[in-house]
Structure 1
Amino acid sequence: MKLNNIKRTLAVVASVAALSFTSCVGDLDTTPIDPNTISGADVFDDPSNYTKALAKLYSGYVVTGQVGPAGDADIGGIDEGASQYIRRYWELQQFPTDETINGWADGNLPKLSYMSWGSNNEFISALYSRIFYQISICNEFIRNTKDTDIVVDGLSTKEMYNEARFLRAYSYWHALDLFGNGIPFTTEADGVGKFLPNPAGKLNGPELFNYISSELRAVEADLSAPAPGAETGRANQAAAWMLLSRLYLNAESYGQPAKYDSALLYTNKVLNSGYALVTNNQGSTYSAYQTLFLADNNTSGSEIIWSHNENGLRSKSYGGSAYLIHASIGGTMDATEFGVNGGWGGNRSMKTLTQTLQYKSVDDRNLVHTDGQKEEINDPTQFTEGYAIAKFRNKTRAGAQGSDPTGDFVDTDFIVFRLAEAYLNYAELAARGVAGASQSQALNYVNALYTRANVPVAEHLKASEVNVEQIIKYERSRELYWEGLRRTDLIRLGQFTGGAYVWQFKGGVKDGASTSSIYNVCPIPSSDLGANPNLVQNPGY
């Protein structure tokens, strides 16, 4: 089985590649107690399983278990559909911010929107488990391939080994960004099921940050070269550079000294690697910008650097892009226009976002549904309060529905990195006065995004507007809204918690209220603290 298209391989991931892994309560790495269950060692005795196991590492961000969409979950303790990695990550990155509100009353879900969560929040716990489940299966793959040197289905085990190390660093970055430096830490060097993991380090310590940085720098040369316009479902060098750019850009948020020079170094590597903005809609009725968020966005051009690939027939789950599309539809919206069979009436925009999107007289990025909706929100449980977002669709550029004829599941890939983010990273670094980052080039990059969005030239960004707040608070929101970046961006700006910047229902108050800085990180779930006495709760929880 070739792995040249992860989107196709999700259907043939071997169950044996995952049966030996559990979620992280106590040990992160465990072997099955049942002697009839196949172990990781058994899996890797057969080299033909290597590519299947690698596909499992990638598909862990998309699918939720061995059956799909439900029936044999990788983690327990929560509805399987709601446990999906990207769904859980996206909600924590978006719900507590000025871009998104959700109207469901499921358990402790409203507390994510109100920034009032605690250590028993089941939705935070589910993401925590997903993150460490991914880390544990990466550890197992790395442990069993590090000393091999063979070619399987056209892929060298060295190449697969380095991709697994990248994926582990990616999930450890999620852990650092969301839970801080005190999370449990294991690598392939640790014995399976023999100990309770120790924390990565002390609060605001450098250990996990340095580990992620060193891992990414160690593997970057051995990942495949950037291939703009080709396969986006597998990580290449440009994906590693984008993650390093994000890591260094946010260093101060992680309690580290500013590392903007390093952020610029890796941002420039991406900018010089051949990727290009999608500026042609290829005859579609959708704008060039919106083709990035359609069912065939994997063929939209050469802007997407890395994505979590989805297929309506082969990677069925109630998370990822399926969730983004269904949960954003309600009221007067016609679900068939979005290529699905119905809406879930959940997620809408805060007026802070819609007013940012509507600031220009014309902007193709203003993908807002207003018919039957009120911009003002008085009751978050009412879908018609708050404008709806129509950014993601399960429609091709030609207007056809995705591959699933039922309309339940979608083909729209969830983008992790795209070139536009590198443009905005550069612009922010220039605004911060980093040596080597030109303000005139920064202006060119932001205005290239305006040009792609058909914003009139007279309304393009001016040189005097190239400042940190403008870039993060407004330009990044106009271009990258609802792509799972907003919480991290607002923390970097210093406006996520506290009272300097409030929006509707921040802190659970209609007009918004100041919130404690403890919410800049999430709590380590109380269940894991009870299972592992080596861990210490984050302050304030």
Structure 2
Amino acid sequence: MKKIFYSVLFISTFIFSSCVGDLDQFPHKETTSADVYAEAANYKAVLGKLYVSFVTAGQEKGGGNADLSSNNGQDYMRCYFNLQECGTDELASTWLEGDKVGDLTYLTWDANDTWVSDMYYRIYYTIALCNEFLRNAGDDQIAKFTESEQADIRHYRAEARFIRALAYYHALDLFRNIPFVTENDPVGSFLPPRYTGTQVFEYIESELKDIDTDLLDRNACEYGRACKQAAYTLLAKLYLNAKIYTGNEHWTDCITYCKEVIKAGYTLEDDYAKLFNADNDKRTNEIIFSLPVDAARTVSWGSTTYIICGAVSNASDYQKPEKYGVTSAWGMFRVRGEVPALFQEGDGRAMFFTEGQTQTVDVIDNQSNGYFVEKWTNLTDAGEAASNTVDGGVNTDFPLFRLADVYLMLAEAVVRGGSGSDVTTALGYVNELRERAFGSDAGAVTSGELTPDFILDERARELYWECTRRTDLIRYDKFTTSSYLWQWKGGVKDGRAVNSKYNIYPIPTTDLTANPNLYNENY
């Protein structure tokens, strides 16, 4: 069993049980919170609930005793995976109607889409948990504890602010102009103001910089908790996409924070596949921040269970679930043909099951169309199944931030004109990735080949199914436009451009009705 710090998190969850329903999205502080925060040790347990809100949907196994009343009843990361991947060239969904992902797949959603709504309320539930924690973790509230306990709680407080910043980053990236609420706002009938993308960007930026001194360095941080370098990586991601969010470029700032991460001593994992197996909690050399999933303590039918079980056919005579450490196959999705075409022969990252499968996707919900992705597994380093996936889901963590992404962010920022690094350095980082992929220098590229378009393709090769593709395509103005078409983009086999409004998801109709401060452009 992996060692994660929030193994006792459920002692804290009852104080948030009143947050249910689409309109009542902010949890109410009940009298029991005074008891919970009476003990310094309980702060860590409550902190665990903030982290685990990304990978579980409720208080009990597999999402039972749900935190929220939602359309699909799934956790944050299942929602996030669908919104970041379904509409891109990286995913062909099998159960368009059964899983209600047809509109996500074809880029035709509206403000009543169930997955869009569930993602929105999952984000704000996590923000609400953070706000509640911070209301009870101010200097006045913790003054009754010992100096050592207060020091620990200040670290927890910084981590809660990081988690909130991460959730706000997802809200900014997905929804752009959004309601804004912090621990300083009243609980209950308060109607949050609408913040523009620029305002949210500036808030996230200031929060991440402000908590720097209170976050632990990677070498002092328990597995599963956010260290300084996680905040630096999130800042780099914010700056990489700054022009989309604010209209202004921040390439140099992106380089600055990529360098902060790199100088902390991370190194690439030798075996790419081990970054996505059930022992990937051991890959802290490359993985900067992960969302732990545990088949005994954080059982989830979303997150990595969704990815791993979903990528094994339940209609193939060739693909065997046990090869991936899976007890049962779900057959939920494959990859569209354009992504496998990006890989050169010999690139070990091209981890696709092809037997009995066509590369092209003539019928999007036909399981024999499109390759299955073998990148993620529930196998240990020894090649054994880590858990019974029918009973407990998988045991594979989701690596949200890793060094390879930082290398590619720095390279892109350099070739787009940022200062603080150079093409030679950027090329070295990219070729490190390609040397791992090819097992030699056979895949090395030259400085002349290091263009923005090459880096976009390299990001797909390195990061496919890691929830970056939609954001990357939007940054390159390829998600909704005709400059890049893939099969079934816009609902037609050969692909077509769609309305640019689909670069942003709409705030759900339910929240527009509840809060007159909010509105959607174009929807």
Above 0.5 in TM-score? yes
> Cα offset for 1:13?
4.5
Moved more, 22-31 or 384-393: 22-31
Corresponding residue of 2:337:
351
Counting only pairs closer than 5 Å after superposition, residues 442-481 of structure 1 correspond to structure 2 as 442-454=426-438, 456-472=440-456, 474-481=457-464
Corresponding residue of 1:51:
44
Identity %: 38
Task: Name the CA shift for 1:525/1:39 in 2 (closer, same or farther; >3 Å).
Answer: farther
Q: Which amino acid aligns with 2:337?
A: K
- Are 1:294 and 2:286 counterparts? no
- Are 1:323 and 2:306 counterparts? yes
Corresponding residue of 2:224:
233
- Is 1:22–1:133's contact at 8 Å kept on the other side of the alignment? no
Moved more, 21-30 or 477-486: 21-30
Structure 2 unaligned spans of 5+: none
> Cα offset for 1:24?
5.7
Matched residue SS, 2:289: strand
Question: For 1:236-264, what per-residue CA distance to the aligned partner results, in whole angstroms no more than 9, with x for missing partners?
Answer: 00000000000011001113311111111
> Cα offset for 1:115?
0.6
Task: Name the CA shift for 1:7/1:362 in 2 (closer, same or farther; >3 Å).
Answer: farther
Matched residue SS, 1:416: strand
Corresponding residue of 2:242:
251
- Is 2:89–2:338's contact at 8 Å kept on the other side of the alignment? yes
Corresponding residue of 1:516:
499
- Are 1:263 and 2:244 counterparts? no
Corresponding residue of 2:56:
63
CA distance in 2, matches of 1:484, 1:79: 20
- Is 1:62–1:308's contact at 8 Å kept on the other side of the alignment? yes
CA distance in 2, matches of 1:137, 1:256: 31
Task: Name the CA shift for 1:154/1:419 in 2 (closer, same or farther; >3 Å).
Answer: farther
> Cα offset for 1:68?
1.9
Q: Which amino acid aligns with 2:163?
A: L
- Is 1:61–1:308's contact at 8 Å kept on the other side of the alignment? yes
Residue 167 (structure 2) aligned to one of 166, 171, 175: 171
Report how many residues are paired. 514
Corresponding residue of 2:68:
75
> Cα offset for 1:436?
2.3
> Cα offset for 1:533?
1.6
> Cα offset for 1:22?
4.0
> Cα offset for 1:323?
0.6
- TM-score normalised by the chain length of structure 1: 0.91
Q: Which amino acid aligns with 2:225?
A: R
Corresponding residue of 1:122:
114
Question: For 1:362-404, what per-residue CA distance to the aligned partner results, in whole angstroms no more than 9, with x for missing partners?
Answer: 0111100001111111211111111110011000111121144
- Is 2:155–2:214's contact at 8 Å kept on the other side of the alignment? yes
Corresponding residue of 1:333:
319
- Are 1:84 and 2:75 counterparts? yes
Q: Which amino acid aligns with 2:286?
A: E
Q: Which amino acid aligns with 1:100?
A: L
Corresponding residue of 2:349:
365
- Is 1:504–1:512's contact at 8 Å kept on the other side of the alignment? yes
- Are 1:529 and 2:515 counterparts? no
> Cα offset for 1:31?
4.3
Residue 219 (structure 1) aligned to one of 192, 211, 218: 211
Corresponding residue of 2:4:
5
Corresponding residue of 1:284:
none
- Is 1:17–1:53's contact at 8 Å kept on the other side of the alignment? no
Task: Name the CA shift for 1:407/1:296 in 2 (closer, same or farther; >3 Å).
Answer: farther
Residue 275 (structure 1) aligned to one of 261, 266, 270: 266
Question: For 1:429-459, what per-residue CA distance to the aligned partner results, in whole angstroms no more than 9, with x for missing partners?
Answer: 1211212221111111111011111255243
> Cα offset for 1:517?
0.7
Matched residue SS, 1:56: helix
Moved more, 46-55 or 507-516: 46-55
Task: Name the CA shift for 1:95/1:27 in 2 (closer, same or farther; >3 Å).
Answer: closer
Corresponding residue of 2:361:
377
CA distance in 2, matches of 1:23, 1:260: 41
Structure 1 unaligned spans of 5+: 33-37, 280-287
Task: Name the CA shift for 1:335/1:154 in 2 (closer, same or farther; >3 Å).
Answer: farther
- Is 1:351–1:386's contact at 8 Å kept on the other side of the alignment? yes
Corresponding residue of 1:30:
28
Corresponding residue of 2:376:
392
Task: Name the CA shift for 1:155/1:292 in 2 (closer, same or farther; >3 Å).
Answer: farther
> Cα offset for 1:155?
6.9
Q: Which amino acid aligns with 2:443?
A: E
CA distance in 2, matches of 1:507, 1:27: 32
C-alpha root-mean-square deviation of aligned residues, in Å?
Answer: 2.0
Question: For 1:32-64, what per-residue CA distance to the aligned partner results, in whole angstroms no more than 9, with x for missing partners?
Answer: 6xxxxx543443234332111100000101111
- Is 1:179–1:521's contact at 8 Å kept on the other side of the alignment? yes
Q: Which amino acid aligns with 2:171?
A: A
Residue 487 (structure 2) aligned to one of 504, 507, 510: 504
CA distance in 2, matches of 1:7, 1:322: 19
CA distance in 1, matches of 2:57, 2:333: 21
Moved more, 250-259 or 512-521: 250-259
Corresponding residue of 1:282:
none
Corresponding residue of 1:207:
199
CA distance in 2, matches of 1:301, 1:162: 21
- Is 1:31–1:193's contact at 8 Å kept on the other side of the alignment? no
